[in-house]
Structure 1
Amino acid sequence: MALKIDKNQNLSLVKRVNKLLESRPENDKDTLEALKELSTFFTDNTLKNRRNLRSKIEKKSLTINDEFLSAFKEVKSTLDSIHSDVLSMNNSIQTMTSRLQSTKTQTISLIDRTTKLQNESKKLSMQHEVANAFISTFQLTKHEIEILHGQTREEPISDEFFIVVNRIQTIHSSCRILMQSGYQTLGLDVMQQMTLLQESALERLYRWAQNQCRHIENEQIAPLLMRAMCTLQDRPVLFKYIIDEYCTARRAIIVGAFIDALTLGSKIGGTPNPIEMRADDPTRYVGDMLAWLHQAIPIEKENILNLLKACDKTDVSDQVKHALSHITESLCHPLKSRIEHIIALESPATVLYSVMSLIRYYRSIFTGIIPDSVLVNDLSDLLDLSEKSFNTRLQRETRMALGERAEPPGQDLIPAASVSRLLTFLNDILSVALIVTGEDREKDIQRIVSYIVDPLLQEIDETATRLPVVDMAVYLLNCLHQIHSTLSVYEYMDQRLERLQAQSDAQIDTLTSELASSLVANLNLGPIYTILQGKEQGPMSAIPGMDPLSVKEFTNKLESLLLMPESFLLPQISLLQNSTYRSTALKRSFQVIGAIYKQLYEACHEPKNDYQNPDGLFARTPDELLEKLISQ
């Protein structure tokens, strides 16, 4: 039995040892903590210490329990103190709750009264805001009224002034909405008040703008003055008065500048030297004055447009034209008097035409800028005056060039000296006309040609009538050729050249007839031609003058004509200056001789005329003869 017990104990011990061996203390946190704590007082691993280990552990445990008990006593005393405090607080809360309940009952009526007062306060606050909004919308502030009226009449206008004026207009417009909302009386009162303020402001603005225009010196328009014109545009009378004041000021300035340009020089128009220095050159003198106006007037127009820049463009166009016409009116007297003086001088027709062209050119320009103005009307009068003076001078110089009596031509039948002088004079004037542009250019050129060429042709005809027929034809052809050559280089001369050509053709016909008659006489063709045209009975070879010997004598003279045509032709033919005219007259006269020759040739070859060996009478056929004659 004892053995069995020992055996069981051994087995139990073995199990414990195995369990201990199988356990892994490094993974057991409690074991590690216990071992760590054990290491604090179990320092030496001796037999004695191992036997006393249990008692030490028990003592250590007892010490810890004692420490815990003492700490717990402190906690308990603290908890007792807290419990007493909580009981005291609970009593206080109970007291306060009862008092609060009593107070709550008392303040219910107070809260109701406070709510009513708050609602009334909100209502009054809203009414106050509405009143302030109405005042700010429909009334001007004290500062704005001070700006509107100004401290003195001479106080300048500022940007703030226009802001206040615009605000008055806005308030005035808003009064209609106020009246439509049912506040007619209030709206009318505010509208009346704003109307009075607006009238006062516009009156002050008018005086200020008028003063600005009265003392305007430079060409730059102040922006405030532009805004003033825009603001006053709704007051036509005040608006017109200001423009008139501006025009009056600018009239004095521009006429002063024009006088300075005439006497001292000016940068405007590119005339740094005084224009009066070129008074001895009428064309340049008039051109410089008109050019100065051409430069100055657009500047004035631009200034007026700048003045009215902020205004409604549909309403200011007529104002601009009227103002520009009013300003330029001051330039009319000094300009007109000087140009009239130039026109009145005994200037050559070329100079007068240049002056007339300048006036016409600048009048067309100014008409586009300021139509129906005094300046344009004066330029029209000057243009009429210059045209009359030019026409008179042109006719006078034409008569002077022609002379009192028609000059007879020389033996060479070239145009007289008066013809050359007059054509040179015509060239001088037309060379000026070529420079001129415009719709009146054609009219001017044709008028100039008519004033010069018609008297010239009349004198040429008068001179030619005193000459023999051939000399007359040659002289007229030479003169017509020179006139035709002069006019052919100019435009608009088609009809005139056609008439000259028709006159030349008539003289060529006359010359051809005379030349053909002379050839017929020199070749003794008269009797032969008469016989060929007659109707004699019998063979033609039996008629005196048509016998073979006479025919042969005629053909021999024709050969002499082919060899020495000068001895048979009229000497005046060589005096023709135009080779075309000369060749045309010769060709036509030779064609007459060729036609008679052909008729004779055919008559001699007819058997009934009884010519023996007709081929022996003629060295050439009619075609060969005509070709040879024309090739001369």
Structure 2
Amino acid sequence: MTSAQDKSQDADQDRIQRRVNKILETRLESDKDTLDALNGLSSFFGENTLKNRRNLRSQIEHRSVGINENFLKAFREVKLSLDAVCDDLDTMATSVQTMKTDLETSKALTKDLIEQTNTMQQERERLEVHQQIAQAFLARFQLSVPEHQLLYGTAKDAPIVPEFFKVLDRVQSIHAECRLLMQCGYQTAALDIMEEMTLHQEGALERLYRWTQNHCRNLENNEIGPLVVEAMSRLQDRPVLFKYVIDEYAIARRAVLVRLFIEALTEGGPGGNPRPIELHAHDPKRYIGDMFAWLHQSIPNEKENLAMLFKKCDKHDISEQMQKALCYIVDGVCHPLKVRVETILSSEKDTIILFTISNLLRFYQQIMKQVVLGGSLEQCLIDLQKSSEQIYLNALASQVRSVLQRPAGSTLALEPPQRDLVPPASVARLLNMLKEILSVATMVDGRQADITKIVSCVIDPLLQSVQESAAHLPTIDMGVYLLNCLYHMQSTLAVYEYMDERVERLQAQSDAQLDTLTSEQASSLVANLNLGPIYTILQSNQTKIETNLLKIFMSKMDAFLELPDVLLLPQIQLIMSSSHRATVQRRAFNVIVAIYKQIYDRVHDPANGFQPDQMLQKTPEQVSHILLSP
């Protein structure tokens, strides 16, 4: 028993000891609750006296009672507030129950209305979907008000703007998409829309046509803008409207081109530079050249402007229309051009100037043909070129006739040949004139035909006159005279191209005169060498030749071999060409050599009984060497 008490006391002491240790180990500065309690105690505990320590417990209890009374008072107010809230909640619950009852009653009464409202709400949603679809359909297949205004214009003369073509493209796109709409089963709507778009398209193209036509009508400086180019590409699908616009443009540009041409002729360029073309009317070549140079510069510009106008059009379909339009534009200058050129041609008398003008016309005819094919201008240039060619040939023929006419007569003949048998001055004048013309002709296109005509116009009457003037001369004089004239002509023409045939014909006539002169010279040599009787014997095949005839021949032959030129006809020395003189001499000497060979063979024939050592000591080869060696 005592042991148990001891253990209990030990345990209490241990517990007390632990508490005391715990209190001693406790650090008051870190114990917040203890600090708060001490702070509260300091508020009402004054001096540390015995009385105060004895009354401390009662004071703490009184303070606790006061605190509890305050808490009770505050809680009573809370309870009263909660009671009021509970009363309000009860009232609200009653009201809610009343409202619930009323709602259930109303719900029962408005069930049909709610169902109808739900149905209408669903219908509204469905209609909204349909409205969106319809709006999307209209936006896809109908024009908006701004687009409609762009297409038809807000005013009568409203200009075309770039957005117009976008709207027109949209109209065409809607028209094309209607085909897909028809394939989807909406044939009626598609057909109605297609019809409407067709009307829009026709109205828009009609407005575009009027605007383009008016724009082309007022073109002064060829200011072809991108809108006009685009308009022409759209109007190409309407051939009639397209043609009307082209005609209007061609009419306007024709008038402008004619006016500019007249201004260039009479007024010149801006400020007088360049000067008016007609100031050079006194110089036919420059005058006509300046007119054609102006046309050569202006007409390609018109072609380029037409190409710009049709830039976006299908070139394969409009090439003919483009060419016709260009022809019509440039045909306006035909009349003023033709009048001035014909005036120059009719007043000019100089053959070379007329020939130069004809070549100038031919040159520009070829140049213009590369730009403008067909039309009045091409025919006008052809007619002017033919007329100028005929005029210069007539002028040349007239000039040839005036040179070849005798001063006192009117027949075509040269002055009589002089004693030296050289060509007269008239021949030299005509050939010099021919040289001047041919020097110009060799520098132009188509010169072969020109050279042939010019040479025929001069040489043919000249040959006729030369032959007529030589007709009264003795044979040998006539031969020398004609040969000299032919040589002069032949040497003049030989240096020019395309003259081979004419030179050959002159050479043939020269050869004929050479044959005549050779015959006359050979006959003279035969007579002077007393070969006539001997040649007659040889020709008659007689074997006997008289010795006296042979001696006379040998005497004259020896003298002839010493000085062969002594027996040449004096007219032969008058031949102008040394080669012709040599030819006549050589051919005549060949005749003498041939006769001498026959005589030599007859004499050296033993059957004839001649003594060869006493006569004809020179062999035919020696005679030929003496006479024919250079």
Deviation at 1:568, TM superposition (A): 0.6
1:444 aligns with 2:450: yes
* 8 Å contact kept, 2:369–2:378: yes
Deviation at 1:574, TM superposition (A): 1.0
Letter in 1 for 2:598: Q
Q: TM-score, normalised by structure 1?
A: 0.77
- What does residue range 90-239 of structure 1 map to in structure 2 within 5 Å? 126-239=129-242
Partner of 1:367: 369
1:511 to 490, 510, 517: 517
* 8 Å contact kept, 2:486–2:506: yes
SS of the counterpart of 2:418? Answer: coil
SS of the counterpart of 1:492? Answer: coil
Partner of 1:428: 436
2:629 to 622, 628, 631: 631
SS of the counterpart of 1:460? Answer: helix
Counterparts of 1:590 and 1:63, CA distance in 2: 182
Partner of 1:323: 325
Partner of 1:385: 387
What is the number of residues matched between the two proteins?
526
* 8 Å contact kept, 1:153–1:204: no
- CA pair 590-183 structure 1, distance change in 2 beyond 3 A: same
What is the root-mean-square deviation in Å for CA atoms of aligned residues? 3.1
1:355 aligns with 2:353: no
Counterparts of 1:586 and 1:409, CA distance in 2: 23
Deviation at 1:384, TM superposition (A): 2.9
Deviation at 1:132, TM superposition (A): 2.8
Q: TM-score, normalised by structure 2?
A: 0.78
Deviates more, 1:212-221 or 1:120-129: 120-129
Consecutive unaligned residues of structure 1, counting only runs of 5 or more, are 1-57, 75-111
Partner of 1:592: 591
Write out per-residue CA displacement over residues 43-74 of structure 1, whole angstroms, 9 at most, x where no aligned residue.
xxxxxxxxxxxxxxx99997599879xx9xx9
- CA pair 66-193 structure 1, distance change in 2 beyond 3 A: farther
* 8 Å contact kept, 1:413–1:474: yes
Counterparts of 2:170 and 2:468, CA distance in 1: 90
* 8 Å contact kept, 1:529–1:596: yes
1:533 to 518, 535, 539: 539
- CA pair 621-185 structure 1, distance change in 2 beyond 3 A: same
- What does residue range 561-600 of structure 1 map to in structure 2 within 5 Å? 561-600=560-599
Counterparts of 2:21 and 2:490, CA distance in 1: 161
Write out per-residue CA displacement over residues 162-202 of structure 1, whole angstroms, 9 at most, x where no aligned residue.
11111111111212222232212111221222122222222
1:555 aligns with 2:554: yes
Counterparts of 1:64 and 1:592, CA distance in 2: 185
SS of the counterpart of 1:415? Answer: coil
Letter in 1 for 2:227: L
Deviates more, 1:555-564 or 1:387-396: 555-564
Deviation at 1:393, TM superposition (A): 1.6
* 8 Å contact kept, 1:363–1:376: yes
1:472 aligns with 2:474: no
* 8 Å contact kept, 1:229–1:307: yes
SS of the counterpart of 1:360? Answer: helix
1:258 aligns with 2:261: yes
* 8 Å contact kept, 2:530–2:552: no
Partner of 1:618: 616
- CA pair 413-62 structure 1, distance change in 2 beyond 3 A: farther
- What does residue range 260-339 of structure 1 map to in structure 2 within 5 Å? 260-266=263-269, 272-339=274-341
- CA pair 472-176 structure 1, distance change in 2 beyond 3 A: same
Partner of 2:400: 398
1:463 aligns with 2:465: no
Deviation at 1:622, TM superposition (A): 0.7
Deviation at 1:459, TM superposition (A): 0.9
Consecutive unaligned residues of structure 2, counting only runs of 5 or more, are 1-16, 34-114, 407-412
- CA pair 457-134 structure 1, distance change in 2 beyond 3 A: same
Letter in 1 for 2:362: R
1:343 to 345, 359, 377: 345
Counterparts of 1:385 and 1:62, CA distance in 2: 154
Counterparts of 1:316 and 1:488, CA distance in 2: 53
Letter in 1 for 2:576: Q
Deviates more, 1:364-373 or 1:232-241: 364-373
1:453 aligns with 2:478: no
SS of the counterpart of 2:242? Answer: helix
Counterparts of 1:195 and 1:325, CA distance in 2: 36
- CA pair 516-115 structure 1, distance change in 2 beyond 3 A: farther
* 8 Å contact kept, 1:271–1:288: no
Deviation at 1:507, TM superposition (A): 0.7
Deviation at 1:155, TM superposition (A): 2.4
Deviation at 1:385, TM superposition (A): 2.2
Deviation at 1:515, TM superposition (A): 0.4
Counterparts of 1:618 and 1:64, CA distance in 2: 196
Counterparts of 1:536 and 1:337, CA distance in 2: 84
Deviation at 1:359, TM superposition (A): 1.9
Partner of 2:425: 417
- CA pair 600-180 structure 1, distance change in 2 beyond 3 A: same
* 8 Å contact kept, 1:233–1:311: yes
Write out per-residue CA displacement over residues 388-446 of structure 1, whole angstroms, 9 at most, x where no aligned residue.
322322221111121144211111111111111111121122222112113xx322221
Counterparts of 2:615 and 2:132, CA distance in 1: 141
Counterparts of 1:396 and 1:535, CA distance in 2: 60
* 8 Å contact kept, 1:209–1:242: yes
Counterparts of 1:482 and 1:603, CA distance in 2: 45
Deviation at 1:349, TM superposition (A): 2.2
* 8 Å contact kept, 2:431–2:489: yes
- CA pair 600-141 structure 1, distance change in 2 beyond 3 A: same
SS of the counterpart of 2:311? Answer: coil
